Amino acid sequence: QERTSVTLLYTATTGFMTAWVAADQGFFADHGVDVDLQLAQNGSIIVAGVVSGSAQVGLPTPTVALQAIENGLDLRTFASTNIFPETSNAGVVVGAESGIEAAADLVGKTVGVPGIGGLLDVTMRQWLISQGVDVGDVNIVEIALPQTGDAIRAGQVDAVASVDPFSSRAVDMGVGRLIGNYLDVIPDGSAAGIFVTTAEWAEEHPEAITGMQLALAEAADFIRENDAEARESITRYTTLPAPVVANVPFPNLGGALEPETSLGFWNRLALEQGLIYELVDLDTFVIPFPTE
């Protein structure tokens, strides 16, 4: 059997653990794919890495991938990392003594997000809209997630749309308080992150893609049975302190992609918020799992 080498770009988010486990436990290798995992500094450069050929596969969030397609980059996706609902603590963190209780109180306030135009940002906006707030009345700025606690304490921002472990840490430090999980607006089954490659590479290596799909399915099964090994992989790839990792809840593991269920929500959201100008043809975009 011919072997394929693949460089896979990821960011240190626990949601991507199926890929780590599949690599650590040799599932990829079992299916003829030698995967080299490479950490990207931030999510926004993952697609660029794939397009330039530095990596063959990347793990961006769906909105990013949709925008890339809109702007003429021909991409394919073949699996999801994890799917909603999120199990971990995500939510809008506000100052403990700020008096902000609900979305409506954020009008006129400054809210930090990890990346404007990123998944958390657009979702948070959608949440604001669903709570009857005009997004234009909220000042949305970027901050790095690790600074969630410090930024609120220093008064740089009034609230942060954060995720774990940063949101829990801010709460534990007594700096902040959660006022609601904005990720609730996302329909169950939507993909949180997807495995993306270029159309060109996908056409040339169909068997490698199938191999990876199978390996990811095996990894998901493995994680459900072997908690300790899975946490080891998390520690290795996030370099988070071990006590933090011990308390991290596992994500809702994904796998096969259903165009409408997995990505339909993101496609419409991106259109509504003006990130794309027409809906992306999801059936071309998604490479389905092999039917056994």
Partner 1 sequence: MTALKGLALPVALLVLWQLAVVLSGMQSDTIAAPDAIFAALGRALTEPAFWADTGDTLAAGGMGLALGFGLGTLSGVLFGLIPPVGRVMRVTVELLRPLPAIAILPIALLIFGFGYRLEVAIVAFGTCFPVLVLTEAAVRQIEPRLSEVARALALSPGARVRKIVLPAVLPRLFVALRLAAGIGLIIAITVEIAANPIGLGARLMQASNSLRPADMYATLFWIGAIGWALNWGMLRLQLWLFPATRGAAQ
Partner 2 sequence: MRHLHRGLWFMASLALLVALIWGWQVLADARILPRAFFPGPDRTWRALSRGFASGTLVADTLTTLRRLGLGWVLASLLGVGLGALVGTSKWAQDWVAPIFEVLRPLPASAIAPVLLLFLGLTDSMILTLIAFGALWPMLLTTVHGFSNIHPRRKEVARSLGMGRGAFIAKIALPGALPDIMGGLRLGLTVALILVVVGEMITVQGGLGARILLAARAFNAAEIFAGVALLGVIGLVTNALLGLVETRALRWQRR
Asked whether position 104 contacts partner 1 by CB under 8 A, the answer is no
Asked whether position 226 contacts partner 1 by CB under 8 A, the answer is no
The CA R_g of the chain, rounded to the nearest whole Å, is: 19
User: Among all chains, which residue has been given the structure tokens 């339909």?
Assistant: 264
Measuring CA to CA, which residue among 150, 152, 39, 46 is closest to residue 95? 152
Asked whether position 168 contacts partner 1 by CB under 8 A, the answer is no
- Of 4-33, binders to partner 1 (CB under 8 A) are 12
CB 146 within 8 Å of CB 13: no
Structure tokens that stand for 198 in this block: 């270029």
**Of the candidates 156, 210, 235, 273, which one interacts with partner 2 according to CB under 8 A?**
156
- Residues recorded for the chain: 292
**Interface pattern 51-70 for partner 1 (x via CB under 8 A):** xxxxx---------------
**Of the candidates 85, 105, 150, 221, which one interacts with partner 2 according to CB under 8 A?**
150
Asked whether position 41 contacts partner 1 by CB under 8 A, the answer is yes
User: Among all chains, which residue has been given the structure tokens 């290596």?
Assistant: 205
Name the pairing type of β-strands 57-58 and 139-142.
unpaired
Select from 10-18, 145-153, 188-196, 222-230 the region that touches partner 2 (CB under 8 A).
Answer: 145-153
Binding partner at 149 among partner 2, partner 1, none, C-beta below 5 to 8 Å by kind:
partner 1
Asked whether position 102 contacts partner 1 by CB under 8 A, the answer is no
Asked whether position 155 contacts partner 2 by CB under 8 A, the answer is yes
Select from 113-121, 123-131, 206-214, 280-288 the region that touches partner 2 (CB under 8 A).
Answer: 113-121
Q: What are the Cα distances from residue 133, in Å, to 108, 109, 128?
A: 11, 12, 5
Q: Is the peptide bond before 290 cis (omega within 30 degrees of 0)?
A: no
Please report how close the Cβ of residue 176 comes to partner 2 at its closest, in angstroms: 16
15 sits in the region (left: phi over 0; alpha: psi -120 to 50; else beta) called alpha
* Residues in contact with partner 2 by the rule CB under 8 A: 44, 47, 51, 64, 67-68, 70-73, 110, 115-118, 141-144, 147, 150-151, 154-157, 275
